[in-house]
Structure 1
Amino acid sequence: MKRVDVVYVVLNDDHENVLMVKNRGKNGSYFTLPGGAVEQGETLAEAAEREVKEETGYEVKVGNILCVTEAFFDEPNHHAVFFTFSGEIKGGDIDLSNPEEIESVEWQSLKEAEKHALVVKQEGLLKEMKTVPYLLRR
């Protein structure tokens, strides 16, 4: 079983709406937070910032960790660990540079985003935005 680290970023506008991406999948489209797999040699924060830029066009600065979840997937044979960060938009504009993977980028209400945003459903998590420090030791 292969271990895969995945990062997501919660970007919101005054705790009212959350930026979501609509992904194209084998079994139809689905919404997630912007993010993706960590590449070799990247820190979690670097991967999160890169993935948001690639998927949405926005330049962001990640903050602290909102939650860590994990899941086991039979197909593919992966043990995935998901690191969900808070984040802040620093620049850029919505740009669908990868339309083969990303169908759209849109702001959703907290209630709607919570239906799609997290691997483990935790009502109120996006509204509360309680975080723990993310520390990088070099």
Structure 2
Amino acid sequence: MAVVFAGDDVLLINRRKGGRTYSVLPGGAVEQGESLAEACVRELREETGLQGRDAELIDVPVDLETPAFYFRVHVDSRELKLGEPEASRASETNTYAPAWIPFSQTGLRNLVPTEARVATMAVAHRNTRRA
């Protein structure tokens, strides 16, 4: 999963599925021959149109039932474009909407799972220390 900040904004995929509204980080499955970091950057590009670089693993606990790895990723653009396969899967009841959200306004209340919130907070904290 990619944790991406641009200034004070965090990149989230706002979802509506099965009558539920929530947010996730860009990310997905690892394809054969890919490293975890390569999969993260590819999924970021597919889901948002952004080219990521310098994927750095974030040290957060891994849920053994649904393991996911989180990477801090840098991008040079803020222009978002939903790609495949999400664009083909989208419908009135199943939406994918990548968006830059001001971190101070999110509270990350709709971000799932819990580990995604932990990873995002870790990057935000690190960004604050560097400022």
TM-score (norm 1): 0.68
- Identity, in percent, stands at 26
Structure (1 or 2) with the greater strand fraction: 1
What is the alpha-carbon distance in structure 2 between the residues aligned to residue 34 and residue 113 of structure 1? 18
Q: 1:39 aligns with which of 24, 31, 55?
A: 31
Does residue 85 (structure 1) correspond to residue 82 (structure 2)? The answer is no
4+ runs of 1 displaced by more than 4 Å? none
Q: State the SS of the aligned residue for 2:28.
A: strand
RMSD after superposition: 2.6
CA contact (8 A) 1:59 1:92 kept: no
What is the alpha-carbon distance in structure 1 between the residues aligned to residue 18 and residue 96 of structure 2? 13
Residue 125 to residue 70, structure 1, CA distance change in 2 (3 Å) = same
Gaps of 5+ in 2: none
Matched residues, number: 116
Does residue 50 (structure 1) correspond to residue 8 (structure 2)? The answer is no
What is the alpha-carbon distance in structure 2 between the residues aligned to residue 55 and residue 124 of structure 1? 22
- CA drift at 1:69: 3.2
Q: Which amino acid is the alignment partner of residue 43 of structure 1?
A: S
Aligned pairs (5 A) from 1:1-138? 8-14=1-7, 16-71=8-63, 79-90=65-76, 93-97=79-83, 98-99=86-87, 100-101=89-90, 103-111=96-104, 112=106, 114-115=108-109, 116=111, 119-120=114-115, 121-122=117-118, 124-129=121-126
Residue 126 to residue 117, structure 1, CA distance change in 2 (3 Å) = farther
Q: Which amino acid is the alignment partner of residue 89 of structure 1?
A: V
What is the alpha-carbon distance in structure 2 between the residues aligned to residue 96 and residue 13 of structure 1? 18
Gaps of 5+ in 1: 1-7, 73-78, 131-138
Q: State the SS of the aligned residue for 1:106.
A: strand
